[in-house]
Structure 1
Amino acid sequence: MRILVAGGTGVIGSRVVPLLAAAGHDVTATSRSAARLLPAEAAGARGVVMDARDAVSVDAAFDQAQPDAVVHLLTDLATEDFAGNAHLRIVGSRNLVDAAKRVNVSRMVAESIAWVGEPDAVPGDETVAIARDPDSGDSLFPAVETLEREVLSLDDGVVLRMGLLYGPGTWYGRHGTLLRRAESGTVEASVRRTSFVHADDAARAVVMALDWPHGIVNIVDDDPADVAEWGPALVWAAGGAPIRITARAQGRSSSNAKASSLGWVPQHPTWRDGPFDLL
């Protein structure tokens, strides 16, 4: 297939592009930076500079790639700009889906997050509702809700709700942002209960999902995690001593039963096996 990988230079994209190229696909990888596209081009992809926030730029990339399928891995978290990342999820997703519809592309695989469900101690499946504010009823993850709605409006749209990514190149890997902070003995998690997934396993899921049916699939390991357990493990891996382990919200872990039924089995079934690829 001709496949456009939007966000082809990020943690997952940089893994997905070589896998797709090696499988014989005609791959176009996008980034806002021409320099960051060099590894993708070395792996056999065509590099295209694209700003997903600009509909004209997105349309131009689609016209150049002439894709049969789109992989949506857009994020903006290198500088922890969470507002910017939310904006990209909303505007970038709409622009990608609009462009796909314009050129009659119905297949899109998109990266979402797995800890969006209503808080509960029991791991949730893909039918769990996105958490809402108990007072206003507003979604606590409006950007995620928009991304998923847009992608699922396509006949062959697949949303992958990824667990927290760990492994080389992630915030939890060597020299990663959260690992550096853990050196001081402090971990402040977004949610108490969550699930992890190794970045290599996430990339394999993206490639496999190009053949999966329409819908949402959780991509998480076999071992639901509580910050009371993984927080100290991260601190110890960083060479520190636990001082303060906290979480801003309760959150919820996820089940990977559906992904397993589709043939995806994590090669890293638990984050405990050498926590965060450091030991």
Structure 2
Amino acid sequence: MKIFVAGSTGVVGRLLLPKLVHAGHEVVGMTHAAERKPLIRALGAEAMIVDVFDRDEVRAAVEDIRPDVIIHQLTSLSQWNVEENARIRIEGTRNLVDAAHAAGVRRMIAQSIAWAYESGNHPATEEVPLDVEAPMPRKQTINGVVALEKAVAEIPHHVILRYGMFYGPGTWYGADGMMADKARNRQLPATDGVTSFLHVEDAANAALLALDWPNGPVNIVDDEPAAGTEWLPVYSEALQAPIPEYQPGKSGWERGASNAKARNEYGWTPLFPTWRSGFTKGTIREEE
């Protein structure tokens, strides 16, 4: 298949491109920065410079390529830019979907998140509603997710990957990431809030496999949702960081997510089934 990857140089995109190429697909990687073209080519794909906020530019690019599938992995998370990320999910996704309509593209795979569910006491399944009544500032993120998922669902064949919290190379939780710095400086408290993690390698593998998955959202998270009191000490030890302080309390939406659908119905098997082994097997230290 011919596949157009938006967000081709992000933490997932740069792992995904060679997997798609190795699987025999013709891949075009989109970037807004000319200096990233050599990276895309080195990963085996054709490179195209496109500003996702330029509606006409996006439409022209998609009509020129005429892909069989668009894979949407665009984010703006490296600097914790929540506003820009919401704009990408709302405006950028709208432009990609409209371009797909214009070019007759009938398949799309898109990155979403697994911590956008409403409050609850158990890990959320895909049937749990999104947290549309969330207060600000969380509401800005939820509005972006809702807009993204609603737009992508217009495409006849669509898969929405609700990813867990990324760890691994290039992520917030990577050796050089923002959370690692906070842990080393004892600025990351261990709370009762529950998180579902996901290694970026598993995120990329899921995007590849999703080419053959049925329509709709699916949680792509590891097997062990865990409170900060459980995972943060393990993470800190892997970083050789100080023991974290305990800060009681949690938000209702900090509930984690279930991967039962991906595992039992789609046959997805993560390489890193739990953060517990993922942190301690050297996936953090290998980056140093």
TM-score w.r.t. structure 2 length?
Answer: 0.90
CA distance in 1, matches of 2:93, 2:250: 27
Alignment of 1:6-155 (within 5 A): 6-133=6-133, 141-155=142-156
Q: How many residues align?
A: 278
One-letter amino acid of the structure 2 residue matched with residue 161 of structure 1: R
Cα offset for 1:242?
A: 3.2
1:258 matched to 2:264: no
| Contact 1:186–1:245, Cα closer than 8 Å, also in 2 | no
CA distance in 1, matches of 2:25, 2:268: 20
Structure 1 window deviating more from structure 2 (210-219 vs 190-199): it is 190-199
Residue 78 of structure 1 aligns to a residue whose secondary structure is coil
One-letter amino acid of the structure 2 residue matched with residue 10 of structure 1: G
One-letter amino acid of the structure 2 residue matched with residue 120 of structure 1: G
Residue matched to 2:221: 220
Structure 1 window deviating more from structure 2 (185-194 vs 63-72): it is 185-194
Alignment of 1:130-209 (within 5 A): 130-133=130-133, 141-187=142-188, 192-209=193-210
Residue 108 of structure 2 aligns to a residue whose secondary structure is strand
| Contact 1:220–1:255, Cα closer than 8 Å, also in 2 | yes
Residue matched to 1:278: 284
Residue 37 of structure 1 aligns to a residue whose secondary structure is helix
| Contact 2:190–2:245, Cα closer than 8 Å, also in 1 | no
| CA displacement, residues 123-160 of structure 1 (integer Å, 9 cap, x when unaligned) | 11111101133789x95611001000110111101100
Structure 1 window deviating more from structure 2 (43-52 vs 237-246): it is 237-246
| Contact 1:4–1:71, Cα closer than 8 Å, also in 2 | yes
| Contact 2:108–2:157, Cα closer than 8 Å, also in 1 | yes
With over 3 angstroms needed to count, the CA separation of the structure-2 counterparts of 1:189 and 1:69, relative to structure 1, is farther
Structure 1: stretches of 5+ with no match in the other structure: none
One-letter amino acid of the structure 2 residue matched with residue 165 of structure 1: F
CA distance in 1, matches of 2:188, 2:238: 12
CA distance in 2, matches of 1:43, 1:278: 23
| Contact 1:233–1:275, Cα closer than 8 Å, also in 2 | yes
Cα offset for 1:118?
A: 1.4
CA distance in 2, matches of 1:156, 1:121: 32
Residue matched to 1:249: 251
| CA displacement, residues 187-228 of structure 1 (integer Å, 9 cap, x when unaligned) | 169992220111001101001101111101110011112112
One-letter amino acid of the structure 2 residue matched with residue 259 of structure 1: A
One-letter amino acid of the structure 2 residue matched with residue 249 of structure 1: S
Cα offset for 1:54?
A: 1.1
CA distance in 2, matches of 1:182, 1:171: 11
Residue 229 of structure 1 aligns to a residue whose secondary structure is helix
CA distance in 2, matches of 1:135, 1:178: 24
One-letter amino acid of the structure 1 residue matched with residue 259 of structure 2: N
CA distance in 2, matches of 1:259, 1:13: 20
Structure 2: stretches of 5+ with no match in the other structure: none
Residue 186 of structure 1 aligns to a residue whose secondary structure is coil
The percentage of aligned residue pairs carrying the same residue is: 41
CA distance in 1, matches of 2:21, 2:192: 36
CA distance in 2, matches of 1:245, 1:82: 26
CA distance in 1, matches of 2:125, 2:80: 28
CA distance in 1, matches of 2:154, 2:255: 26
With over 3 angstroms needed to count, the CA separation of the structure-2 counterparts of 1:230 and 1:135, relative to structure 1, is closer
Cα offset for 1:249?
A: 3.1
| Contact 1:130–1:139, Cα closer than 8 Å, also in 2 | no
| Aligned-pair Cα RMSD in Å | 2.2
| CA displacement, residues 24-79 of structure 1 (integer Å, 9 cap, x when unaligned) | 11100011112123222112211001111111121122133211110000101122
